[in-house]
Amino acid sequence: MTVKFTINGVKVEAESGDSVIDTARRYGFDIPSLCHHQAVTPYGACRVCLVEITKGGRKKITTCCNYEVLDGIDVVTDSEAIHKHRAMVLELILAEAPDAEPVKKLAAKYGVNVSRFERPKAGAAQERHDCIMCGLCVRVCTEIVEVNALAFNGRGYNRGVGGPYLEAPQSCIACGACAWVCPTDCIGFVEEDGMRKVLKWDRELPMEKDEDGRPFAPKFQLHYFKEKFGLPADIYKKAPGTR
Amino acid sequence: MDLTKVDAIIENYDGDATSLLAIMQDVQDQENYLPREAVNHISTKLDVPVSRIYSMATFFESFHLEPRGKHICTVCMGTACHVRGAQRLVEHLERELKVKSGGTTEDLQFTLEEVNCVGACALGPLVIIDGEYHGNVTSTRLTKAVKNLKTREGGE
Amino acid sequence: MALIANSAKLRSYREELVDKKAKEGKKVVAICAGTGCNAYGSPKVVAAFREEIEKQGLSDKIEIKPTGCHGFCERGTLVLMHPEKQLYQRVKPEAVAEIVDRTLKGGEVLEEHLYDNPVTGEKHRTEHEIPFYKHQERLILGKNGEIDPTSIDDYIAMGGYDGLAKALEKGPEAVLEEVKKANVRGRGGGGFPAGRKWETCKNAPSDKRYIICNADEGDPGAFMDRSILEGNPHAVIEGMIIAAFTIGSDEGYVYVRHEYPLAIERLTIALAQAREWGFLGKGILGTGLDFNIKINRGGGAFVCGESTALMMSIEGKVGEPRAKHIHTVISGLYNKPTNLNNVETYANIPLILDKGADWYIGKGTKGSPGTKIFSLVGKVNNTGLVEAEMGMTLRQIIFDIGGGIPDGNEFKAVQTGGPSGGCLPASKLDLKVDFDSLWEEGSMMGSGGMIVMDDKTCMVDVAKYFLGFLKFESCGKCTTCREGLRRLHELVTDISEGKGTEETISLIEELCDTVEAGSLCALGTTAMNPVLSTLKFFRDEYMAHVKDHRCPAGVCKELITYEITDNCNGCMVCAKRCPEDCIAGEKKQLHVIDIEKCIKCGICKDVCKFDAVRVY
Ligand SMILES: Cc1cc2nc3c(=O)[nH]c(=O)nc-3n(C[C@H](O)[C@H](O)[C@H](O)COP(=O)(O)O)c2cc1C
Ligand code: SF4
Ligand code: SF4
Ligand code: SF4
Ligand code: SF4
Ligand code: SF4
Ligand code: FES
Ligand code: FES
Ligand code: FES
């Protein structure tokens, strides 16, 4: 079903179920985001996508990545208030991830070059590094890779993310998808010495070799795909050496 | 732990994965904590990833992943008890039991915990020692209660 | 037991019960077995009464009835003798034999067990003479002192399930109109009109609807919901059945805190009885209504009291709130229309059906009809559960009912609304308490926590306490709440340690603004209330910490010093008890504290019998 509404006064259309952020971006409006990815369920964690939405005459500041389009709403993607709140949110995030280039860049855009807050001491359970708890890794691993290797743990300011019992997750197939989506690049994914390593989760898997002896994917990962899709046992031997 | 006990609990809920929280609570009620092998077992039986169970167990305050002490001292840190000086009682017990709040002594004798209001605010500040409520507690009375516990232990 | 087949049967069944009780003519002794009194040793008192009654062969004349909380927890264990409602307070097991002998048998009044009014010095014999009770309007709590919560017959005999019978006769439309007219507002925090919520849920297109009762009661320092469930569980069940009938639901849940074992136990018994008697199950009271209720135990997370988090938790997931752009009455539990109300809200419903909306709106104020139960705690003489008509002033509640501040100390503030509420100063004591007026003053009704503070309470410390609570209870999803509260707590801690500046205060205010605007659920969007309200009304106290590095209330450890004054007679007690061995002094000589080593534990002040230790 087509939904009609306005963004910054411009009439726009979207399909019901679409998010405001994706629609706005499709029309060329710039809204920052750190925890949003079209491939996974919206979560609304980082809070940098704050906009103003007027619905039924009531104006509200809200995140728009987890806001499904509705007929007749009016969206404003920038204002003094929005700018101010985004800047404060980014200041909080910058303190969490002071070394993350993408965060630094975005914060600078909002005039935040240094945070007035100190880097949080490691959470009760684990080192934070530059993690901003956006949950993209968790969602990708659960919804796309479907191995459920990762989850949040704890709550509140003690929240952490990783494998169960803070150990290397045994169901991780070292596919690297989480590292790919992480907005702060804090997971780390390398291939060396015939091993594939996901640094943050401390997971290492030996690579399977193709016919020419070139390593191309972790054994475990191939095993997983074989099981999942019921592929013949020697399928990967015949597959062209990718990567 | 005996995993057939876990099976019995799961059976009580017809193996229904939406009852995960209740199943975890029942296991913990029986064992005083949530042993790792029980978590793995629940995961297999209900077909719920371990990562999710671990996530729940660390999200909800009532779960314990480590064995707790034989004696459990719980200080109420609800607002009513707080304004009547509960913070000092926690610190007092930390000194007396030589363990940080939330922790268990190495000999597995004592666990010191906090709770937010048990609904007996009239008696605040309140400390619960092995299920027994001690109302209007003072440091003197706490010292005595702990001494009692320790001598009882020593005598056994 | 025969099922109660229809409304007519219910009425005749009730008449039989009442007749039977009248014939037996037993004197009822209601002994409070609520959590507070249990802690005082009420089970031993009950056992002693039972034993003594048995021994004296009075079993067919006297009924011993353990009940839920009577409200006056301060004076437990309470023994209430019906029908005169003569009240003995602070009863110990040792006194029981004499009470049975002289009062129950001999009709004598034992003065030493009566409540003595500290203001007038009078002794009051009956419950309604005592100021604590006299000024209350105990529409809901009143029954706690009369009903055995494990007996559905007790509830029925008192008119229980009559509201349901009337509702079934009226039909859902008429019930909805009645509830809307009564304008009963949600007692769980928001004060949203229940009738309107029911209507939206009823009209949401779906083949399935859920009814949920919120008994999570995560507010630290509040215990009214648990006390209703412990003392009068059928009132809540009846309210839920009426809601189910009105809205068109066949499945209900009570989400109750795991830390409330007694409430769970009583509720479990009550549900089983309601099923057996035919108030739950298929074809309730001979109508086409099918409805069942399950108990769901919460896992100990304050945030799970929030509607969407609660529903996530019932679905077996981590209790994280989700965005509510579509409200839960339209798409809630398992994405079906779901009506969530608080325990006390449901407990009001049978009353409204039984006595009518017109009667109900005669109580309380125009915007907030009825009563509200408060847990009146902290630095107040009569700690307990108080049910006051809406529109009573704070002063009436704290001073007339609560008996004022103990130890001759001065009233300083009252905190209402739990962790998302605010602190109101003495100048607001004449505020009429209802949903709207509290909101206007930057506080809120919340679930009804009312924490009284005196001049020994530091408001910076109070703000720090709530922030510490909330940063721990936040689910951790939103940056604004997870990091924002962590930072607010750090900043207020800085102030409490004398490290804050005026800039700290303005950063706090700036940050509060974004935490409020940018957070997903009400935990985050109201978290700044305790800080902002204390900053608004007690700014001087903040400034004393910031500018003079002084904590006027003598609470913030980093800013206080312990000192022994001339009152010291050298008894040496403090020196023996000091954990740091930092008190020196000879016998019968003035003792001195080594300030460098002192960890400010306060033990010396506690143990000194001569009031010689001073904090400044
Ligand atoms: C963090 C948070 C905690 C809450 N805790 C409770 C609670 O313990 N009990 C309750 O009844 N409502 C609680 N609420 C309010 C509920 O979300 C909801 O508004 C209420 O249960 C609705 O019932 P009512 O309309 O009858 O008040 C809480 C809200 C928030 C945001
Ligand atoms: S690398 Fe491991 S944790 Fe990351 S998405 Fe792949 S399977 Fe999941
Ligand atoms: S590791 Fe990266 S993707 Fe995962 S939560 Fe942290 S910041 Fe987000
Ligand atoms: S406001 Fe706080 S409690 Fe609510 S969803 Fe966000 S992080 Fe969780
Ligand atoms: S307890 Fe009091 S009186 Fe006794 S030595 Fe200490 S300060 Fe002096
Ligand atoms: S406050 Fe504690 S440490 Fe300091 S002198 Fe008194 S007893 Fe000793
Ligand atoms: S992108 Fe919307 S909250 Fe993160
Ligand atoms: S605050 Fe401690 S019992 Fe309520
Ligand atoms: S518990 Fe007995 S009066 Fe409250």
Residues in A lying within 8 Å of B, measured between beta carbons: 125, 148-155, 163-165, 169, 171
Tens of pLDDT along C2-28? 578 899 999 999 999 999 989 988 899
CATH topology of domain C152-361: Rossmann fold (3.40.50)
Residue type, C549: H
Torsion angles phi and psi, residue A22, rounded to 5: -65, -40
What's the confidence (pLDDT) of residue C261?
87
Q: Pick from C453, C580, C92, C579: which is nearest to B142 by CA?
A: C579
Which residue CA neighbors atom 2 of ligand 3 most closely? A182
What's the confidence (pLDDT) of residue C446?
84
- Please tell me the distance between residue C579's alpha carbon and the centre of ligand 6 in angstroms: 7
pLDDT at residue C612 greater than cutoff 90: yes
Tens of pLDDT along C374-400? 999 999 999 999 999 999 999 999 999
- Closest chain B C-alpha to C204 CA, distance in angstroms: 25
Would you say the CB of residue C350 lies under 6 angstroms from ligand 9?
A: no
- Concatenate the DSSP letters of all residues of A122-140 into one string: PPSSS--TT-----HHHHI
- Closest chain C C-alpha to B67 CA, distance in angstroms: 18
pLDDT at residue A147 greater than cutoff 90: yes
Atom from ligand 9 closest to the CA of residue C72 = 3
Between residues 516 and 535 of chain C, which touch chain A (CB distance below 8 Å)? 517-520
Which of A155, A161, A184 has the most C C-beta neighbours within 10 Å, making it the best mutation to test the interface with C? A155
Torsion angles phi and psi, residue B95, rounded to 5: -70, -45
Question: Which chain A positions have a beta carbon within 8 Å of B50's beta carbon?
Answer: 164, 171
**8 A C-beta contact, residue B86 and residue B77:** yes
Q: Which CATH number fits domain C561-615: 2.130.10.10, 3.40.1780.10, 3.30.930.10, 3.30.70.20?
A: 3.30.70.20
Place of tokens 């009400």: C522
Please name the member of B18, B59, B82 whose beta carbon is closest to the beta carbon of C319: B59
Q: Omega into C525 within 30° of 0, i.e. cis?
A: no
**8 A C-beta contact, residue C186 and residue C243:** no
Residues B83 and B150 in one domain: yes
Structural domain count, chain B: 2
Distance, in Å, from the CA atom of C62 to the CA atom of C336, rounded to the nearest integer, reads 51
What's the confidence (pLDDT) of residue A222?
58
Q: Is residue B133 part of a domain?
A: yes
Residue C222 token pair: 């509040």
Residue B123 sits in a domain of what CATH number? 3.40.30.10
Residue type, C478: C
Range of B29's domain?
A: 3-59
Please give the CATH number for the structural domain made up of C371-454. 3.10.20.600
Distance, in Å, from the CA atom of A30 to the CA atom of C169, rounded to the nearest integer, reads 59
Set out the domains of chain A in order of their start, with CATH numbers. Answer: 2-78 (3.10.20.740), 136-242 (no CATH)
ipTM: 0.92
Residues B35 and B88 in one domain: no
Tens of pLDDT along A86-104? 999 999 999 999 999 999 9
Residues B76 and B151 in one domain: yes
Which residue CA neighbors atom 4 of ligand 5 most closely? C571
What's the confidence (pLDDT) of residue A212?
67
Task: Write out residues in chain B with pLDDT < 70, as ranges.
Answer: 154-156
pLDDT at residue C329 greater than cutoff 80: yes
Q: Pick from C215, C218, C253: which is nearest to C334 by CA?
A: C253
Distance, in Å, from the CA atom of A87 to the CA atom of A71, rounded to the nearest integer, reads 30
Q: What mean pLDDT is reported for chain A?
A: 87
**8 A C-beta contact, residue C237 and residue C274:** yes
A117 lies within 8 A of chain C by CB: yes
Distance, in Å, from the CA atom of B22 to the CA atom of B43, rounded to the nearest integer, reads 14
Which residues does residue A5 pair with via DSSP β-bridges, in sequence order? A12
**8 A C-beta contact, residue C455 and residue C553:** yes
Residues B78 and B24 in one domain: no
Q: Is residue B110 part of a domain?
A: yes
What's the confidence (pLDDT) of residue A126?
47
Contact flag C220-B88 (C-beta cutoff 8 Å): no
Residue C1 token pair: 């037991």
Would you say the CB of residue C612 lies under 6 angstroms from ligand 6?
A: no
Domain end residue (candidates: B36, B59, B82): B59
Question: Which chain C positions have a beta carbon within 8 Å of B118's beta carbon?
Answer: 35, 259
Which of C32, C451, C461, C605 has the most B C-beta neighbours within 10 Å, making it the best mutation to test the interface with B? C451
Residues B91 and B130 in one domain: yes
Q: What mean pLDDT is reported for chain C?
A: 93
Q: Pick from C119, C106, C16, C98: which is nearest to C49 by CA?
A: C98
Residues B75 and B45 in one domain: no
Residues B75 and B142 in one domain: yes
Angle at C340 between CA C4 and CA B120, to 5 degrees: 85
What's the confidence (pLDDT) of residue A243?
29
Please name the member of A44, A92, A154 whose beta carbon is closest to the beta carbon of C483: A92
Tens of pLDDT along C232-283? 999 999 999 999 999 999 999 999 988 888 899 999 999 999 999 999 999 9
Would you say the CB of residue A138 lies under 6 angstroms from ligand 2?
A: no
Residues B80 and B150 in one domain: yes
Which residues does residue A228 pair with via DSSP β-bridges, in sequence order? none
pLDDT at residue C98 greater than cutoff 60: yes
Please name the member of B18, B78, B122 whose beta carbon is closest to the beta carbon of C384: B122
Name the DSSP class of A65: T
What's the confidence (pLDDT) of residue C334?
95
Comparing alpha-carbon positions, the chain A residue that sits nearest to B48 is: A148
Residues B92 and B135 in one domain: yes
Question: Which chain C positions have a beta carbon within 8 Å of B56's beta carbon?
Answer: 299, 317-318
pLDDT at residue C190 greater than cutoff 90: no
- Report, as an integer, the average pLDDT of C363-379: 93
Q: Omega into B125 within 30° of 0, i.e. cis?
A: yes
**8 A C-beta contact, residue C549 and residue C561:** no
Contact flag B120-C36 (C-beta cutoff 8 Å): yes
Tens of pLDDT along A190-243? 988 888 899 999 999 988 776 666 656 666 565 665 555 555 555 444 433 332
pTM: 0.93
Would you say the CB of residue A97 lies under 6 angstroms from ligand 2?
A: no
Residues B42 and B90 in one domain: no
What's the confidence (pLDDT) of residue C443?
83
Residues B10 and B84 in one domain: no
B60 lies within 8 A of chain C by CB: yes
What's the confidence (pLDDT) of residue A217?
63
What's the confidence (pLDDT) of residue A241?
35
Q: Which residues contact C417 (CB under 8 A, 6 or more apart)?
A: C189, C438, C443, C444, C445, C446, C447, C449, C529
Comparing alpha-carbon positions, the chain C residue that sits nearest to B89 is: C601
- Closest chain A C-alpha to C68 CA, distance in angstroms: 34
Comparing alpha-carbon positions, the chain B residue that sits nearest to A155 is: B59
Contact flag B53-A153 (C-beta cutoff 8 Å): no
Which of B47, B76, B121 has the most C C-beta neighbours within 10 Å, making it the best mutation to test the interface with C? B121
Torsion angles phi and psi, residue A177, rounded to 5: -60, -40
- Please tell me the distance between residue A76's alpha carbon and the centre of ligand 7 in angstroms: 16
Comparing alpha-carbon positions, the chain B residue that sits nearest to C74 is: B122
**8 A C-beta contact, residue C452 and residue C411:** yes
Residue C361 token pair: 């709106």
Domain ranges in chain C are 23-128, 152-361, 371-454, 459-547, 561-615
Q: Which residues contact C108 (CB under 8 A, 6 or more apart)?
A: C102
Please name the member of B19, B83, B95 whose beta carbon is closest to the beta carbon of C457: B83
- Please tell me the distance between residue C464's alpha carbon and the centre of ligand 7 in angstroms: 29
Residues B121 and B150 in one domain: yes
Would you say the CB of residue A3 lies under 6 angstroms from ligand 2?
A: no
Place of tokens 């994706």: A22
Q: Which CATH number fits domain C459-547: 3.40.50.2000, 1.20.1440.230, 1.10.10.10, 3.40.50.740?
A: 1.20.1440.230
Given ligand 9 and candidates C31, C32, C45, which is best to mutate, with the most ligand atoms within 8 Å of its CB? C32
Q: Which CATH number fits domain C23-128: 3.60.15.10, 3.40.30.10, 3.90.1660.10, 3.40.630.30?
A: 3.40.30.10
Distance, in Å, from the CA atom of A237 to the CA atom of B13, rounded to the nearest integer, reads 46
Given ligand 8 and candidates B74, B81, B127, which is best to mutate, with the most ligand atoms within 8 Å of its CB? B81
Q: Pick from C435, C520, C533, C535: which is nearest to C477 by CA?
A: C520
Q: Is residue B64 part of a domain?
A: no
Please name the member of C480, C485, C514 whose beta carbon is closest to the beta carbon of A157: C485
With 0-12 / 13-18 / 19 or more C-beta atoms within 10 angstroms meaning exposed / middle / buried, residue C560 is middle
Residue C230 token pair: 């412990």
Comparing alpha-carbon positions, the chain A residue that sits nearest to C319 is: A155
